[in-house]
Chain A
Amino acid sequence: MTFIRGLYLLVRGVIVGLVLLIAAIVALLVVALRRIVLPLGFVLLALLALIGLAAAIFEIDGGHGTVSLAHLASLIHLPDLRHYVGTYLHNLETQHGNTAISIGAGIAVLILGLLLLAATLIPARQRSMTLAKDSDWRLTARRRTLVQAASALAEEPGELDRVRVRARPRRRRVGGRLRVRAHRRPDADRRTVEAEVARRLAPLSDGLKLKTKVRARRTSAGRPR
């Protein structure tokens, strides 16, 4: 048993060593090949385009050769698919088919199309906000950075339990809005807290097209601070 266990450990060690050696070689190769990957990729793409062009020219002749359209269609079983779809549509027309599946699939495709359309038309969430701009210069800041800065300024020790900041840019225009939701202690006055938070945030928004809106809410009883 000892011999077998020793043999097992030896084999396992050799395998681990080989894996590490292969990983090191691959890493070295990746580093070495980085400089030639881009031109190599271009050459491969050009080669692929040439092959595609040759295949397209060959298709013009038709026939049933190796790269003919008919042969390629048979390789991916297009005739079988045509037969299956034809049968399905025929059954559907003669009311023998399952219309519920067809209606469901149609609605699903419709929804998918609407989602794709919405994804294309609805603009992506802007990561940066332009806070000042003229012909010579522009000042931008990431929303996350503004939120960090505003949170750091607003969360000074005082009558606040918690502060939540959201930054929203103005669409296609300079500036934006900081919405601050401050959770005040039950004994703190709402207006006083809001004024205090706005005062703390003034250094961030002064001179910039950045509006600040502060709302102070009372911390609910039993809520963790």
Chain B
Amino acid sequence: MLLGEVARDAALTVDGVADVERGVVGAVVSLPGGRSLPGVMVVGRADGRYDVGLALVARPVRLGPLAERVREVVAAAARSAGVAGALGRIDVGFADLEGPAE
């Protein structure tokens, strides 16, 4: 399983994360192996590790603690998948909010 998929799947398990951003305009999409992976951007670094950026859609909850939880869960998932050594910085981005009162 690719690092981006590990991070995305882990982030989606966090309570308070509704989805990853899937919009056409401004969407963050990785293309590993010709497939699209919306909401995730994986960038290689000079030290051989990879920074993972997540564009998430959150539920109306406190964003700070939610981002901390996402970071912890993604790091734990990377360890479980045996790719923790490849994981660099985790960028948690909230691209949208689900169901806010406009």
Give residues in A with beta carbon < 8 Å to B.
Answer: 127-128, 131-132, 135-142, 144-145, 148-149, 151-153, 155, 203-204, 206-208
B77: min CB distance to chain A, Å = 14
> At the interface, yes or no: B47 with Cβ under 8 Å from chain A?
no
B89: min CB distance to chain A, Å = 6
| Residues B92 and A138 in contact, CB atoms below 8 Å apart | yes
Give the bracket for the number of chain B residues in contact with chain A.
20 to 34
| Residues A148 and B93 in contact, CB atoms below 8 Å apart | no
> At the interface, yes or no: B100 with Cβ under 8 Å from chain A?
yes
Give residues in B with beta carbon < 8 Å to A.
Answer: 26, 58, 60, 62-65, 67, 71, 89-97, 100-102
| Residues B64 and A208 in contact, CB atoms below 8 Å apart | yes
| Residues A137 and B101 in contact, CB atoms below 8 Å apart | no
In the assembly, what is the distance between CA of A157 and CA of B102, in Å? 14
**Of B58, B71, B93, B101, the contact of A155 (CB 8 Å cutoff):** B101
Chain B residues within an 8 Å CB radius of A142: 93-96
In chain A, what residue has the closest Cβ to B62?
A203
In the assembly, what is the distance between CA of A208 and CA of B92, in Å? 13
| Residues B65 and A137 in contact, CB atoms below 8 Å apart | no
| Residues B89 and A139 in contact, CB atoms below 8 Å apart | no
B53: min CB distance to chain A, Å = 8
**Of A138, A145, A152, A204, the contact of B95 (CB 8 Å cutoff):** A145
Q: Say yes or no: A152-B60 contact (C-beta < 8 A), given A142-B95, A145-B94, A145-B97.
A: yes
Main secondary structure on A side of the interface with B: mixed
In the assembly, what is the distance between CA of A81 and CA of B96, in Å? 55
**Of A128, A137, A144, the contact of B71 (CB 8 Å cutoff):** A137
B42: min CB distance to chain A, Å = 15
Chain A residues within an 8 Å CB radius of B62: 203-204, 206-207
Chain B residues within an 8 Å CB radius of A128: 93
B69: min CB distance to chain A, Å = 11
Chain A residues within an 8 Å CB radius of B63: 131, 139, 141, 149, 204, 208
| Residues B96 and A145 in contact, CB atoms below 8 Å apart | yes
| Residues A152 and B94 in contact, CB atoms below 8 Å apart | no
In chain B, what residue has the closest Cβ to A203?
B62
A112: min CB distance to chain B, Å = 30
B76: min CB distance to chain A, Å = 14
| Residues B93 and A141 in contact, CB atoms below 8 Å apart | yes
**Of A131, A136, A152, A206, the contact of B90 (CB 8 Å cutoff):** A136
Chain A residues within an 8 Å CB radius of B65: 207
Chain A residues within an 8 Å CB radius of B89: 135-138
Q: Say yes or no: A131-B64 contact (C-beta < 8 A), given A148-B102, A151-B101, A152-B101.
A: yes
Chain B residues within an 8 Å CB radius of A204: 62-63
In chain A, what residue has the closest Cβ to B94?
A141
Closest 6 CB pairs of A and B: A207-B64, A148-B100, A141-B94, A139-B67, A152-B100, A140-B93
13 A–B pairs (Cβ distance < 8 Å), ordered by A: A132-B64, A137-B89, A138-B92, A139-B64, A140-B91, A141-B63, A141-B93, A144-B96, A145-B96, A148-B97, A149-B63, A152-B60, A207-B65
